[in-house]
């Protein structure tokens, strides 16, 4: 029997890829000024960025176990024999916990995967899982493929300042930079599900140049197996687009390159002006 693929909205997967692979996306929520919104449904990044720039109180919340159970029940009703459910790092959200609670009540077996990542680093893992499921792999194999690819990705990002990460409690080891936050432009990395400092530079132009250099180094490490690349941004389309164009011109081994705006939930924690690059080595055989 077939394996259904479920993920959450922090994967930032483009809608056409979700539809073409039959992936089910369970949304997280954003609470803006005391009012709750569903990510990808009734809040956009323009409204979010404006609120963040004004330091309007913003928080996020995970989906309920009921939301996941409904997704699993729907998969069962559609003929799936099992589910692989791939989610944002447990260090950053309680989403994996909600999925695990729902899995205990699911009418079909569910493999819950903590991707240890977010954004298209997780998204590429979800896509590899979907391809493996389409090829008839069993749920445990599909889950292993999703987790391995998500963990293999390099996630590098630039933020205009660390305040939003600090307010959201997601800053991790990068808290060491807070004392000089006004004087530097930090480059950060997502490492095994948590945020680590990479470098601190004096200008945004220099930060983006280093972001490009570091991304290209990650491509070189991947070698001939090739990579998929995504450039994310929140309220920084021009600068991110320029970076995307430079990477596209320089990386001949990139099979897929995506320019993807960050979703509201991740954006709420990193703030306007954020630019991120995901370099995801392709699995053996070059399949998504």
- In contact, 95 and 28? CB cutoff 8 Å: yes
83, exposed or middle or buried, with CB in 10 Å at 0-12, 13-18, 19+? buried
> pLDDT: is 180 or 246 the higher one?
246
Would you state the pLDDT for residue 285? 46
- In contact, 265 and 9? CB cutoff 8 Å: yes
- In contact, 233 and 46? CB cutoff 8 Å: no
pLDDT in tens, 26-77: 999 988 878 888 887 877 777 788 887 777 788 889 999 999 999 999 999 9
Distances in Å between the Cα of 86 and the Cα atoms of 112, 128, 233 are 6, 11, 22
Distances in Å between the Cα of 134 and the Cα atoms of 2, 72, 96 are 8, 18, 24
**Which residue in the block uniquely carries the two structure tokens 């979800």?**
126
Would you state the pLDDT for residue 249? 95
Would you state the pLDDT for residue 56? 78
Distances in Å between the Cα of 39 and the Cα atoms of 29, 48, 91, 125, 226 are 5, 11, 20, 21, 32
Q: Is the pTM of this model over 0.75?
A: yes
pLDDT in tens, 164-187: 676 655 555 444 444 444 557 888
pLDDT in tens, 94-149: 999 999 999 999 999 999 999 999 999 999 999 999 999 999 999 999 999 999 99
pLDDT in tens, 195-243: 888 888 888 899 999 999 999 999 999 887 789 999 999 989 999 999 9
Q: Where are the alpha helices (DSSP H) in 135-170?
A: 139-152, 163-168
Domains of the chain: 3-28+63-151 (3.40.50.10170), 154-281 (3.30.1180.10)
| Average pLDDT of the residues in 273-286 | 85
List 5's β-bridge partners, or say none. 84
**What's the mean pLDDT when you consider all of the chain?**
89
Would you state the pLDDT for residue 173? 45
| Average pLDDT of the residues in 242-259 | 92
How many C-beta neighbours within 10 Å does residue 64 have?
14
Tokens at 128, concatenated: 């590899």
Q: Tell me, rounded to whole angstroms, the distance of Cα 209 from its chain centroid.
A: 22
Would you state the pLDDT for residue 58? 81
User: Does residue 5 carry a pLDDT above 80?
Assistant: yes
Label residue 32 left, alpha or beta by phi (over 0 means left) and psi (-120 to 50 means alpha): beta
Cα 98 from Cα 95, distance rounded (Å): 5
Would you state the pLDDT for residue 78? 96
């Amino acid at each position: 029997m077939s394996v259904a693929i479920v993920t959450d909205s922090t994967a930032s997967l483009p809608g056409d890829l979700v539809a073409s692979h039959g992936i089910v996306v369970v949304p997280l929520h954003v609470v803006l000024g005391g009012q709750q919104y569903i990510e990808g449904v009734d809040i956009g990044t323009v409204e979010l960025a404006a609120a963040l720039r004004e330091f309007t109180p913003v928080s996020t919340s995970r989906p309920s176990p009921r939301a996941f159970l409904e997704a699993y029940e729907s998969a069962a009703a559609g003929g799936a024999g099992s589910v692989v459910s791939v989610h944002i790092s447990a260090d950053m959200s309680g989403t994996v916990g909600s999925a695990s609670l729902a899995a205990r009540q699911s009418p079909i077996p569910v493999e819950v995967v903590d991707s240890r990542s977010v954004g298209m680093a997780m998204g590429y893992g979800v896509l590899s899982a979907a391809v493996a499921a389409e090829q008839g792999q069993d749920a445990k194999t599909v889950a292993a493929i999703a987790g391995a690819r998500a963990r293999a990705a390099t996630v590098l990002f630039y933020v205009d300042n660390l305040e939003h990460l600090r307010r959201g409690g997601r800053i991790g080891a990068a808290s060491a930079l807070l004392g000089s936050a006004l004087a530097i432009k930090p480059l950060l990395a997502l490492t095994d599900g948590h945020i680590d400092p990479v470098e601190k530079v004096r200008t945004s132009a220099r930060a983006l140049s280093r972001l490009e250099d570091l991304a290209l180094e990650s491509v070189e490490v991947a070698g001939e197996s090739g990579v998929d690349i995504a450039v994310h941004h929140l309220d920084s389309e021009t600068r991110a687009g320029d970076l995307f164009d430079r990477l596209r011109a320089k990386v001949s081994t990139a099979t897929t390159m995506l320019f993807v705006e960050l979703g509201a939930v991740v954006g709420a924690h990193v703030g306007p002006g954020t630019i991120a690059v995901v370099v995801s080595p392709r699995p053996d055989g070059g399949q998504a």
